[in-house]
Amino acid sequence: MPTDDSSTSPATRESTLDSWFAHLSAELGIDLDIDLNLLLDVARDAAHGVARPAAPLTTFLVGYAAARAGGSPDDVHRISEIAARLAVEHGANRDGAQ
């Protein structure tokens, strides 16, 4: 059952995420040095700019597109920036719509 980590400190949450990322990556056979904060920022932008369920969908699509582009950390970074920009623009357009 998932746990609510809202009462944990940011440092504990970060340590948990780093550990989870390392464990899951190893189990999936993925060896990639990636900026987790970048992916979390993309998820945040999608959640706030589009809708909460857009966060996992967006990060999935970022990963898929990055893999198709070659799968390097630079590919992930470039595609993450595109997704973040689009999510922010979507939110601005939605909030600015009359």
pLDDT digits (tens, 9 = 90+) for 24-55: 999 999 988 889 999 999 999 999 999 999 99
Residue 68: C-alpha distances to residues 15, 27, 33, 50 (Å): 30, 21, 17, 24
| Residue 40: inside a domain | yes
Can you tell me the distance from the alpha carbon of 98 to that of 79, in angstroms, rounded to the nearest whole number?
30
| Residue 75: inside a domain | yes
Residue 66: CB atoms within 10 Å = 21
| Residue 59: inside a domain | yes
> What domain range is 59 assigned to?
33-96
Which band of pLDDT confidence, cut at 50, 70 and 90, is reported for residue 9?
confident
Q: Which of 45-54, 56-65, 68-77, 88-97 has the lowest mean pLDDT?
A: 88-97
Number of domains composing the chain: 1
Asked whether the predicted pLDDT for residue 5 surpasses 50, the reply is yes
Can you tell me the distance from the alpha carbon of 98 to that of 94, in angstroms, rounded to the nearest whole number?
8
pTM, two decimals, is: 0.79
Return phi, psi of residue 8, to 5°: -85, 155
